């Protein structure tokens, strides 16, 4: 069975689109009938596997079937393999739902999650006037007064030890991309994301009273801020120095009172530490924003939550990521973000972080998450917020 490439320069006169479409519709009708039969057969497979205690997936058998299918497909072999792989994934997901849909541990956790954020103690990295401080006030209200810690790790530790109920951390910037350290810590600690807020980033060049642009030789800021203002820094020939936090950099520049040293931070930090604003909005790209997440030890899914975050790893095999993503497409779910991070100590193996739109109280969404949790290694549901 081959699909010889047709001669597109000699097209028969009797070919017409309406007749071809009728032919395709008839074939699609047959495919639908066969698909239903296949899914009914999958129901029987699920019964046998439950009775005999067999696993849902058999990767060795799958690969043998796909290889044979591709060979039989001839010129259409690659497409035939993709089609069958998608059918297998849909079948496995259906079997997962039949076997674990009602009593899976993850499903119970999702269905019994709280809906109200309880507690008022908040941890942020940095100091007063930091963008994380602005994010905390934006999310929790103007009266929010968080506790500040030097490092991202310290924020996680504060939540772990119960010193605070929540942590506020940057996760992604529209210019500089993901904050990798936070992704790694989020996975390591097993916390949940219970909320998010976007903060407009308007970086300012802050200097001691009386300093001028001509005086400035060095700038201090977090690496993300330095990256976001890279062209501005290069244009002025400033020497860069990395700091743990922009507001902390502003605090030290104020203490040093050296007209050759400046900080890149918010105008709020400038007022907080009595520094002059030499220039505003110095970031390279207009509309620069940072997404901050709210973390907690406890799973909370508030009413109206419409974004879900997951993390998982996959075998280093051709098409493994595609097969996962196709499951979301097959269920009509929109993936809004995907990040990859190398797994330490495992060459060319990656952990993926994925955001998609949905709510766990939608049965299709919940079933897909529960199915993936039993199929994948290192799977973690990070939150619905």
**What's the confidence (pLDDT) of residue 301?**
97
The string of DSSP letters for 246-295 reads: HHHHHHHHHHHT-TTEEEEE-HHHHHHTT-EEEES--SSSTT-EEEEEEE
Cα distances from 17 to residues 3, 14, 23, 174, 185, in angstroms, run 20, 10, 10, 46, 57
Q: What is the pLDDT of residue 227?
A: 93
Distance, in Å, from the CA atom of 299 to the CA atom of 193, rounded to the nearest integer, reads: 8
**pLDDT in single tens digits along all 385 residues of the chain:** 456 677 788 888 888 999 999 999 999 999 999 999 999 999 999 999 888 988 887 878 888 999 999 999 999 999 999 899 889 988 887 887 787 665 578 888 999 999 999 988 999 999 998 999 999 999 999 888 899 999 999 999 999 999 999 999 999 988 778 888 898 898 889 899 999 999 999 999 999 999 999 999 999 999 989 999 999 999 999 999 999 899 999 999 999 999 999 999 999 999 999 999 999 999 998 888 999 999 999 999 999 999 999 999 887 777 788 888 988 987 889 999 998 888 776 666 788 999 999 999 998 899 889 888 887 878 999 999 9
Check if the beta carbon of residue 319 is closer than 8 Å to that of residue 62.
no
pLDDT number for residue 102: 56
Cα dihedral 210, 213, 215, 217, rounded to 10, equals 130
Q: In order of start, what are the domains of the chain with their CATH numbers? A: 17-100 (1.20.59.10), 122-201+289-296 (3.40.190.10), 204-279 (3.40.190.10), 302-384 (3.30.70.260)
Phi, psi angle pair for 70, to nearest 5°? -65, -40
- Dump pLDDT digits (tens) for 64-76: 999 999 999 999 9
Q: Which residues are catalytic?
A: 290, 292
> CB 328: neighbour CB atoms within 10 A?
18
CA distances from 295 to 157, 167, 299 (A): 12, 5, 9
Report which of 181, 107, 157 is spatially closest to residue 365, judged by C-alpha positions: 107
250 Cβ neighbours under 8 A, 6+ residues apart = 129, 206, 263, 265, 269, 270, 272, 273, 275
Vertex 219: Cα angle to 215 and 222 (nearest 5): 165
CA pair distance 244, 132, nearest whole angstrom: 12
Question: How many Å apart are CA 278 and CA 205, to the nearest integer?
Answer: 6
| pLDDT for res 2 | 54
* CA–CA distances in Å: residue 256 to residues 93, 207, 213, 263, 360: 61, 10, 17, 11, 52
**pLDDT digits 0-9 by tens, 266-307:** 999 999 999 999 999 999 988 889 999 999 999 999 999 999
Chain center to CA of 362: 20
Per the CB < 8 A criterion, the answer to whether 311 and 193 are in contact is no
Distances from the Cα of 355 to the Cα of 12, 113, 228, 365, 384, angstroms:
49, 19, 24, 13, 10
The secondary structure of 8-27 as a DSSP string is TTS--TT--HHHHHHHHHHH
Q: End-to-end distance of the chain based on CA atoms, in angstroms?
A: 50
How much is the pLDDT for 326? Answer: 83
> Would strands 147-149 and 122-125 be described as parallel, antiparallel, or unpaired?
parallel
Which residue in 380, 344, 384 sits closest to 180, CA to CA? 344
Note the Cα 368 to chain centre separation in Å: 17
* Non-local CB neighbours of 23 within 8 Å, separated by 6+ positions: none
Q: Which residues of 192-222 are buried (b: 16+ CB within 10 A; e: fewer)?
A: bbbbbbebebebbbbbbeebeeeebeebbbb
């Amino acid at each position: 069975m081959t699909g010889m490439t047709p001669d597109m320069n000699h097209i028969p006169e009797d070919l017409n689109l309406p007749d071809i479409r009728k032919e395709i519709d008839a074939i699609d009708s047959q495919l639908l009938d066969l698909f239903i039969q296949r899914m009914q057969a999958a129901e029987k497979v699920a019964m046998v596997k439950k009775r005999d205690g067999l696993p849902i997936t058999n990767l060795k058998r799958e690969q043998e079937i796909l290889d044979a299918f591709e060979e039989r497909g001839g010129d259409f072999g690659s497409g035939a393999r993709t089609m069958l792989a998608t059918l297998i994934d849909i079948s496995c997901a259906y079997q997962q739902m039949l076997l674990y849909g009602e009593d899976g541990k993850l499903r119970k956790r999702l269905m019994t999650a709280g809906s109200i954020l309880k507690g008022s103690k908040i941890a942020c990295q940095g100091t007063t006037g930091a963008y994380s401080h602005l994010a905390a006030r934006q999310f929790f209200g103007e009266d929010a007064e968080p506790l500040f810690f030097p490092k991202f790790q310290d924020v996680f530790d504060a939540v772990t030890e119960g010193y605070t109920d929540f942590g506020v951390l940057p996760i992604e910037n529209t210019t500089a991309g993901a904050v990798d350290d936070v992704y790694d810590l989020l996975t390591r600690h097993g916390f949940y994301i219970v909320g998010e807020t976007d903060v407009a980033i308007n970086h300012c060049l802050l200097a001691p009273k009386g300093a001028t642009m001509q005086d400035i030789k060095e700038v201090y800021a977090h690496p993300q801020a330095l990256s976001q203002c890279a062209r501005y820094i290069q244009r002025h020939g400033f020497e860069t120095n990395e700091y743990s936090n922009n507001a902390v950099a502003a605090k030290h520049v104020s203490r040093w009172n050296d007209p050759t040293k400046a900080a890149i931070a918010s105008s709020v930090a400038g007022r907080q530490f009595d520094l002059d604003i030499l220039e505003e909005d110095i970031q390279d790209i207009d509309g620069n924003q940072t997404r901050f997440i709210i973390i907690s030890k406890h799973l909370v899914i508030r009413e109206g939550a419409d974004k879900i975050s997951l993390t998982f790893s996959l075998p280093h095999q051709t098409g493994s990521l595609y097969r996962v993503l196709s499951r979301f497409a097959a269920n009509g779910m929109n993936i809004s973000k995907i990040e990859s991070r190398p797994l330490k100590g495992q060459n060319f193996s990656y952990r993926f972080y994925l955001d998609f739109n949905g709510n766990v109280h939608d049965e299709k969404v919940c079933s897909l998450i529960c199915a993936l949790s039993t199929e994948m290694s290192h799977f973690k549901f990070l939150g619905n917020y």
